[in-house]
Amino acid sequence: RKKVTIQALHALRQSKTPITMVTAYDYPSAVACSSSPLTDITLVGDSLAQVCLGYASTTQLTMEEMVHHAKAVARGTTHPLLVADMPYGSYYTSVSDAVANAVRLVREGRMEGLKLEGGKEIVDVVRRLTEVGIPVMAHVGLMPQRHCAMSGYKVQGKSVEGAKKLLSDALALEEAGAFAMVIEAVPQELAKYVTDRLKIPTIGIGAGPHTNGQVLVYDDLLGTWSGHKAKFVRRFGNLKGVRDQAIHAFGEAVRDGTFPDPQKESYSMDEDEWTKFI
């Protein structure tokens, strides 16, 4: 498949073809995302923090760690558009700090777009990045980088005020130049309404079937994640079972001496060489 562009994403939205986005954190997961021609976007999500690095939340992830993993994902990616999350704290201190960090993710991390969580309060940053040619994917609704301020990972926009705020944030982010928008953990009616009001594609997670696309975390969809399973996760595989079984089978085969097989899984010396040696 040809490299996916922002223009191609708009064409998918236009033709009502749902956009697919999957997260990746390293070379093998990036290769897996690229293995399907149906993957439109590979996202180096800052869920990297929990899923890959064992942190309790995304607020612990550093720029260094994101750059390191983005580089690995870029090496394994073919056609999907490459987008990374800007880590917590890397785009709030000032517009110029945000630009400097974004440039690192583009230059060193080889990212083609960057995702930022936030509403009206970040439009100056979204506008500036867009102006200097760094495509921005917005992220509204549940913003995991703000889980403390939100008192946990909860559905957003359920009240009239919440819904009004989400809509006005979405419109402001589009106006500032965002090329697409993730909507996370929002009632499906509201996600549909916002999608209909925007011209840019929306990509939902826990936002119902009416957004222009869907995203899931790699380990959630593979079924390798052993932590909490959110209501909106569907496991499309059970790789945890397969994986843990393989680790255990190796242990058993070593313990009972059936691995390695002397014929099939071992090297042998030529007999005359061996005789001279001995």
Q: If binding is defined by CB under 6 A, does position 116 make contact with ligand KIV?
A: no
Q: If binding is defined by CB under 6 A, does position 33 make contact with ligand KIV?
A: no
Residues in touch with Na ion (CB under 5 A):
45-46, 85
Place of tokens 């690995």: 72
> Which CB atom, from 34 or from 211, has the smaller least distance to ligand KIV?
211
Q: Calculate helix-pair angle for 123-131, 95-107, nearest 10 degrees.
A: 50
> Which CB atom, from 186 or from 205, has the smaller least distance to ligand KIV?
205
Nearest one of 265, 200, 206 to 232, comparing CA atoms: 206
> Which CB atom, from 26 or from 46, has the smaller least distance to Na ion?
46
What DSSP string runs through 150-161? TTSS-----SHH
Q: Cα(145)–Cα(256) distance, rounded to whole angstroms?
A: 48
271 among known catalytic residues: no
Asked if 78 and 47 touch (Cβ cutoff 8 Å), the reply is no
Among 20, 23, 202, 211, indicate the residue that binds ligand KIV (CB under 6 A): 23
Q: If binding is defined by CB under 6 A, does position 174 make contact with ligand KIV?
A: no
Least spacing, CB of residue 82 vs ligand KIV, in Å: 14
3-state secondary structure of 252: helix
Which of the following is catalytic: 112, 117, 174, 184?
Answer: 184
Q: If binding is defined by CB under 6 A, does position 156 make contact with ligand KIV?
A: no
How far is CA 29 from its chain centroid? 11
Q: If binding is defined by CB under 6 A, does position 219 make contact with ligand KIV?
A: no
Q: If binding is defined by CB under 6 A, does position 205 make contact with ligand KIV?
A: yes
Asked if 203 and 214 touch (Cβ cutoff 8 Å), the reply is yes
Q: For residue 275, give Cα distances in angstroms to 38, 106, 268.
A: 59, 60, 13
Among 4, 34, 42, 46, indicate the residue that binds ligand KIV (CB under 6 A): 46
Nearest one of 6, 11, 2, 3 to 113, comparing CA atoms: 6
Among 29, 39, 47, 195, indicate the residue that binds ligand KIV (CB under 6 A): 47
Cis ω for the linkage preceding 87 (within 30 of 0)? no
Q: Cα(22)–Cα(234) distance, rounded to whole angstroms?
A: 13
Q: If binding is defined by CB under 6 A, does position 217 make contact with ligand KIV?
A: yes
Least spacing, CB of residue 146 vs Na ion, in Å: 11
DSSP assignment letter at 264: T
Least spacing, CB of residue 246 vs ligand KIV, in Å: 26
The one segment of 1-9, 45-53, 94-102, 193-201 that binds ligand KIV by CB under 6 A: 45-53
194 is in the binding site of which of Na ion, ligand KIV, none (Cβ under 5 to 8 A by kind)? none
182 is in the binding site of which of Na ion, ligand KIV, none (Cβ under 5 to 8 A by kind)? ligand KIV
Least spacing, CB of residue 144 vs ligand KIV, in Å: 7
Q: If binding is defined by CB under 6 A, does position 215 make contact with ligand KIV?
A: yes
Q: Cα(235)–Cα(164) distance, rounded to whole angstroms?
A: 33
Q: What angle do CA 85, 88, 90 make, to 5 degrees?
A: 85
**Residues engaged in binding ligand KIV (CB under 6 A):** 23, 43, 45-47, 85, 182, 205, 215, 217
Annotated catalytic residues are 184
